Amino acid sequence: MIIVTGATGKLGRRIVERLLERVPADRVGVSVRDPRKAQDLADRGVRVRQGSFDDPASLVHAFEGAEQLLLVSLDRTGQECVSGHRAAIDAAVKAGVGRILYTSQMGAAHDSRFQACRDHAQTEDLLRATGLPWTALRNGFYASSALQFLESARHTGDIALPADGPVAWTGHDDLAEATAAILAEEHRFEGPTPPLTGPAALDFDTVAEIASQTTGRPFTRTVVPDDAFREQVLAHGAPAPIGNLMLSIFAAARNGEFTAVDSTLAELIGREPATFRTQLEHAWAE
């Protein structure tokens, strides 16, 4: 059986849908905090069990019988994130899971400027220490993050953000398709995969040009000093750790941590991944 955590989330749900196109529903299980949100999956024959990263015993039950477990990374940072992942990995070992797959990120490294990439590196260390077969899916930076950064610019025409560097923005749909292909054992990787990225690395100067071409409206790119950006984030009600986290994305981009572009994602899905232009057009058409 293949078990997927976070199966009601933005990425996990897509992965389950793509997986069900490849394997029978009775071979798929999900571990979710609220089984009611996965009732439609249960109705289709998927095994649904309650599992919380804050309740290790529930995870052992949810992971029972898993030949493969896909651990979708938590939407947390720092030790809170790593501790949750540790609990899930320990539960997987207790449950006798055959292989653990984990949604890591391109740029995962202990010395990354971006906190999430440091968390991913620590989690990969935990996976390595289990002695079990494991795969870290080094996903490209989610394009949805860029779209969130652009939300105010969508109305003002001014992309006012800190200095950045090229990022290989990558779509959830393409990553879900690739992950399902790996879970269905159409491909296999031991340890970290190559970067699973979109077709190009873009900075926000280039994104401004794409936005102008896509909408027919002029977009400008204004560089906001780091301190000023952080103050703006805090002024909008975000707590200080979130402000620091957002700023660290730009610091890591300036450091060249997300510039890699690789063909592996295209090979996994059998086509070119969606361009950022395509994703922008789709998002802004809504």
State the DSSP string of 241-263: HHHHHHHHHHHHHHTTTT----S
Q: How far is CA 144 from the centre of its chain?
A: 10
d(CA 228, CA 206): 23
What pLDDT is attached to residue 285? 86
Q: Average pLDDT over the chain, rounded to whole?
A: 96
Reported as a single tens digit per residue, the pLDDT across 57-103 is: 999 999 999 999 999 999 998 999 999 999 999 999 999 999 999 99
Beta-sheet strand order (sheet of 2-5): 47-50, 28-32, 2-5, 68-71, 99-105, 134-139, 191-192
Domain boundaries, the chain: 2-138+171-192
Give exposure, 238-262, as e/b (b: 16+ Cβ within 10 Å). eeeeebbbbbbbbbbbbeebbbbbb
Percent of the chain scoring above 90 in pLDDT: 96
Residue 131 has pLDDT above 70, yes or no: yes
CATH number of 2-138+171-192: 3.40.50.720
Name residues whose C-beta falls within 8 Å of residue 280's C-beta, 6 or more positions apart in sequence.
Answer: 147, 150, 207, 210, 211, 214
Mean per-residue pLDDT, 21-33: 97
The tokens describing 63, both together, are 């992971």
Reported as a single tens digit per residue, the pLDDT across 182-222 is: 999 999 999 999 999 999 999 999 999 999 999 999 999 99
d(CA 115, CA 2): 30
Mean per-residue pLDDT, 241-245: 90
d(CA 89, CA 102): 10
Burial class (CB in 10 A: 0-12, 13-18, 19+), 143: buried
d(CA 127, CA 102): 9
